[in-house]
Amino acid sequence: MSGDSFVIGMAGGTGAGKTAVAEALSSSVDEPVSILSLDNYYRDHSDRSLEARSEINYDHPDAFEWELLVDQLEQLTSGSPIEMPQYDFTTHTRTDERVRIEPTKICIVEGILSLYNGRLRDCYDLSVYVHTDADVRILRRIERDVIERGRTLEGVIEQYLETVKPMHERYVEPTKRHADLIVPEGLNHSAVSVLSARIRSAIDGAAIEATLP
């Protein structure tokens, strides 16, 4: 375990079902779970115009503030609470709001590139890649961005073809090689059960080891 926590890195393409798997896993274990979403760690470009912010490639690794995420994860696994930033996808800016995350025995870092950064991978006890077919993922992406984030269908499709798809093929999909476990077709309950059992075994093992003289 990483410090006092069992840390899981959960990656996969846009719309793969990472959040659903993370939430299902959180519900399946008899322990509090903290979830850090990579989406909250986009670099803040509030000094730029909305037009300029809209042209940033948010699917490229450089779009994320890796240093902040790693530092906060290390604080959390060392037993200190963090103030997790929040991101507004309608304005492409980090908000003034922060969410306090308390240390827990289980921590999940989920996002498209959660297995990309080497320093971040070093923090994980288990690396997971959620694999879902591209046609399913794009339909989920359209539904989410149009309904939840107020974007136009034309804009979502254009972004998918110009950045999301090529960045997935170049950066996201290759991180599958770092995964200890691949979860097929998004919310796969069998895979969630396997994950839950593995986490429980690790936590119970650590507890027993801590009591040994």
Q: What is the pLDDT of residues 140-159, one digit of tens each?
A: 878 887 877 777 888 888 88
192 pLDDT band, cuts 50/70/90, is confident
206 pLDDT band, cuts 50/70/90, is low
Q: What is the pLDDT of residues 15-58, one digit of tens each?
A: 888 988 998 988 888 888 999 999 999 999 989 998 898 889 99
Instruction: Check residue 3 and give its pLDDT.
Output: 63
Q: Give the single-character DSSP code of 93.
A: E
Q: 15 or 212: whose pLDDT is higher? A: 15
Residue 40 is encoded by which pair of tokens? 């909250």
Q: Answer positive or negative: Cα dihedral of 121, 35, 103, 213.
A: negative
Q: How far is it, in rounded angstroms, from Cα 104 to Cα 116?
A: 24
Q: What is the pLDDT of residues 106-128, one digit of tens each?
A: 999 999 999 999 999 999 999 99
Q: What is the pLDDT of residues 75-106, one digit of tens each?
A: 999 999 999 999 998 888 999 999 999 999 99
Ordered by where they begin, the domains of the chain are 6-205 (3.40.50.300)
To which H or E segment does residue 12 belong? Answer: strand 6-12
